[in-house]
Amino acid sequence: ANLAFGNSRDTSNLPVQVEADQLDVNQKDGTATFSGNVQIAQGEMLLSAPTVLVVYAEDSKKIVRLTASGGVTVVNGPDAAEAQNADYDIDAGTVLLTGNVLVTQGKNVMSGDRVVLNLDAGTAQVGGRVRTTLETQE
Amino acid sequence: MAWRETLYSRIISWLKVIFPLAALAILSTLFLLSRGRDSTNAIPYSRVDLQERMKEGMVNKPHFSGATSGGDLITFTAETAKPDPQDDSKALAEKLSAQIDLTSGTKITFASDTALLDTKQETARLTGGVVVVSSTGYDVRTDSITTSMREVAAETDGPVSGTGPAGTIDAGKMVLSTDPETKDAHLLFTNRVKLIYHPQN
């Protein structure tokens, strides 16, 4: 099922700001883990989670993905989504939410196993066992 | 008219003799008549500077290296170092740079304008334009950092700011420590860290 999620945006290379209590960089292989109410902000999207792992590209000059875990909430404009884990692919501008995902859009609430948020198009695509509750008594 | 030609050729033949001789004379003034050079005078230096260095025991280009229990190499070099007059277990160094070569191959360097080396606690306190560079792609600056001379451990007093592999980074504090179990060195940016990454695809 497809659902509007936040408003679409023109480019996916808005600056990404990651803020956390702590960043731990393993000096052996350079893996970087943010921990302590981590907040990833880009444009109107705000993703918050307890821990976020930074996945660098091969030449490690680019961040390929940010994988958040331990209970994630994503807010994009008026809409919000919650899940256990989130995998934010910056270049593609998509956030893959897994683990009892709950998407609230206005009054409608939709839950599923897997939700792919497309930040550029401003849509949420819900996969797996989908259950929607629509508020209708307008 | 004939006498003019003979006079002309006679002058020329005389000139052919006089010019080389004149040249020889001028050339000789270069060597024979030159002013005596006194090459024996010593190179000018002031004895004050020498005495000051001797009295203070100033050491040039001191070099100190050692290995940690985990096998990581730590090297300290400085422009000059001199013992602290009040406490001889301490030394003041100028333009100190420390380099840590981890067994994992990563290289971490600290550099600062001045440093206070405490040989008793085996720590060095770097102050003044401290630059910390790690080959994992981090290049940050801070005001002062205290690092151990025996183990891979360092801690800044205050905030650091600089660049990470992808983007700028700011944090309230930075700690370099070794994980007891895995023995891996970890660079921790704590007290609220902020990374700004500009994707350009």
| Residue numbers in A near B169 (CB within 8 A) | 23
Structural domains of chain B, count:
1
CB contact under 8 A, B186 and A27: yes
- B93 interfacial to chain A (CB closer than 8 Å): no
CB contact under 8 A, A12 and B196: no
CB A100 within 8 A of CB A84: yes
More confident residue, A50 or B42: A50
| Residue numbers in B near A19 (CB within 8 A) | 192-195
Q: Which of B 115-144 lie inside 8 A of A, CB atoms?
A: 134, 136-138
CA atoms within 13 A on the CB side of B23: 6
Residue A22 has its nearest CB partner, among B169, B189, B201, at B189
| Residue numbers in B near A17 (CB within 8 A) | 194-197
Residue A19 has its nearest CB partner, among B108, B187, B192, at B192
Sequence-ordered list of residues with C-beta below 8 angstroms from that of A86, at least 6 positions apart, any chain: A47, A49, A67, A68, A69, A72, A74, A95, A96, A97, A98
Residues A62-89: pLDDT tens digits? 888 899 999 999 998 888 999 999 999 9
Q: What is the mean pLDDT of chain A?
A: 85
Task: Report the length, in residues, of chain B.
Answer: 201
pLDDT at B39: 63
Residue B36 belongs to a domain: no
Coil/strand/helix, residue B8: helix
Once rounded to an integer, what is the mean pLDDT over residues B41-69? 75
pLDDT at B139 over 80: yes
CATH of the domain at B91: 2.60.450.10
Residue B125 belongs to a domain: yes
pLDDT at B81: 86
Taking the CA of residue B139 and the nearest CA in chain A, the distance in Å comes to 13
Residue B97 belongs to a domain: yes
Domain that holds residue B85: 58-197
pLDDT at B114: 93
- A88 interfacial to chain B (CB closer than 8 Å): no
Q: What percent of chain A has pLDDT over 70?
A: 93
pLDDT at A138 over 60: no
CB contact under 8 A, A27 and B167: no
B41: its two tokens: 């005078």
Residue B43 belongs to a domain: no
pLDDT at B201 over 60: no
Question: Which ranges in B32-156 belong to alpha helices (H)?
Answer: 47-56
| Residue numbers in B near A22 (CB within 8 A) | 188-190, 193
Residue B175 belongs to a domain: yes
CB A26 within 8 A of CB A39: no
CB A70 within 8 A of CB A49: yes
Residue B2 belongs to a domain: no
| Residue numbers in A near B195 (CB within 8 A) | 17-19, 23, 34
Residue B189 has its nearest CB partner, among A23, A60, A62, at A23
* Strand pairing category for A16-20 and A2-4: unpaired
Residue B77 belongs to a domain: yes
Taking the CA of residue A110 and the nearest CA in chain B, the distance in Å comes to 31
Sequence-ordered list of residues with C-beta below 8 angstroms from that of B4, at least 6 positions apart, any chain: none
Residue B152 belongs to a domain: yes
Most confident of A8-12, A84-88, A114-118: A84-88
The CA-based dihedral angle spanning residues A74, A75, A79, A84, taken in that order and rounded to the nearest 10 degrees: 20
E strands, chain A, are 2-4, 16-20, 22-26, 32-42, 45-56, 63-69, 72-76, 79-83, 85-89, 94-105, 108-118, 123-127, 131-133
- B161 interfacial to chain A (CB closer than 8 Å): no
Secondary structure letter of residue B42 according to DSSP? P
Once rounded to an integer, what is the mean pLDDT over residues A23-41? 91
Coil/strand/helix, residue A26: strand
The CA-based dihedral angle spanning residues B15, B21, B23, B24, taken in that order and rounded to the nearest 10 degrees: 170
Chain mean position to CA B97: 9
Once rounded to an integer, what is the mean pLDDT over residues B39-60? 70
pLDDT at A88: 92
Taking the CA of residue A30 and the nearest CA in chain B, the distance in Å comes to 5
Nearest alpha-carbon partner for B145 in B113, B121, B180, B168: B113
pLDDT tier for residue B113 given thresholds of 50, 70 and 90: very high
**Cβ count near A56 (within 10 Å):** 19
